[in-house]
Amino acid sequence: MTSENRTHIFGPVPSRRLGLSLGVDLIPSKTCTFDCLYCEVGRTTDRTIQTRPYVPVSEILEQLRRKLLVCSPDIITLAGSGEPTLHSEIHRIIRGIREITDTRVAVLTNGSLFWNKEIRDRVLDADIIMPTLSSAFGQTFGRIHRPHPDIHLSAVVQGLRALRMDYKGLIFLEVVFLAGINDTVEEEEALKDVIDTIRPDRIQINTVVRPPSDPRARALDPGQLEKIRLLLGEDAEVIAGTPRHEGGGRAAQSAAEILLDTLKRRPLRAADIVDSLNMDPHEVDDLIKGLMIKGYIRGREHSGEIFYLSNEGGFREEKE
């Protein structure tokens, strides 16, 4: 996929975790080291651990510079419709952002590559790093994340501990709980022991709050999440309800939410959606197709043009 004409900057969108977050999408959709059951962006099409300069740094920084002329986010979040640390020049992107603005920089990552010192070193200039760890058992880890065959839980944990040693900024560790998979007392207690050795600044407890890529990913209820919070201690908080992919290609989810909210109020054509979301027309086509397949929206012809309407509440179609 060439990056030509692709929009790399998304939002800003309100984020409970970060304030007003402007997303930077570094990676082609869906290029990732994992293929998580709960992924909100869909199945991974390129599961890899190969880092590459997927998108030109200058292109990202130029789009960001232009966007910052018209908005003032609280934070700039490096993410992607996949794993942002797969971008081999993420350090140059972080450095370039520092030259453009004083706004803080966060990296939203699955944390699977920090056993590699070179990759760890590339993110050390960020203000906040937000990795994920959802099990202390290799089998459960494999079941939830379906990682690239060269990624092993022991190396991931070792990488997160090394990150804590090397990195002076904030680490917010996300833990995603899935019903019937990692919600046993044995899982929770083992996870607590491992997290204690990683020493994140915050532990952010999440579950499946949006349609997952695999129906086997099922949510825990708020009572279960609260019990886990108490077990994990005073640095833990429940963040379920906050879009996982806020700000970024992980912003695809935020775009879907914004679009669904708007379509509940009024029908839009694809061209209107391109304008209102400031997205590439091909990405809007994909977004529309995905929402139609999942049954959230439908198309209706009017005066020779197709308008998209929400299938849930809000906007009501006039009977003909």
User: Are residues 217 and 178 in contact, defined by beta-carbon separation less than 8 angstroms?
Assistant: yes
Residue 157 CB, shortest distance to ligand SF4, in Å, is: 16
Residue 40 CB, shortest distance to ligand SF4, in Å, is: 7
Binding of ligand SF4 at residue 44 (CB under 6 A)?
A: yes
| Residue list 178-237, contact with ligand SF4 (CB under 6 A) | none
Classify each residue of 14-44 as buried b or exposed e, where b means 16 or more C-beta atoms within 10 Å of its C-beta. Answer: ebebbebbbbbbbbbbbbbbbbbbbbbbbeb
Is the Cβ of residue 120 or residue 307 nearer to ligand SF4 in the bound state?
A: 120
Residue 185 CB, shortest distance to ligand SF4, in Å, is: 25
| Residue list 87-126, contact with ligand SF4 (CB under 6 A) | 110
| Residue list 48-87, contact with ligand SF4 (CB under 6 A) | 82-83
List residues bridging with 79 in a β-sheet. Answer: 25
Alpha carbons 167 and 190: distance in angstroms, whole number: 25
Binding of ligand SF4 at residue 39 (CB under 6 A)?
A: yes
Q: Which of 110, 175, 180, 168 is nearest to 143 (CA)?
A: 180
Mode of pairing for the β-strands spanning 305-310 and 297-302: antiparallel
Binding of ligand SF4 at residue 35 (CB under 6 A)?
A: yes
User: Are residues 245 and 209 in contact, defined by beta-carbon separation less than 8 angstroms?
Assistant: no
Binding of ligand SF4 at residue 41 (CB under 6 A)?
A: yes
Residue from the set 32, 75, 198, 291 that interacts with ligand SF4 by CB under 6 A: 32
Alpha-carbon separation of residue 303 from 246, 269, 272, 300, 307 (angstroms): 36, 12, 16, 10, 10
Binding of ligand SF4 at residue 36 (CB under 6 A)?
A: yes
Residue 253 CB, shortest distance to ligand SF4, in Å, is: 10
Residue 84 CB, shortest distance to ligand SF4, in Å, is: 9
Q: Where does this chain bind ligand SF4 (CB under 6 A)?
A: 32, 34-36, 39, 41, 44, 82-83, 110
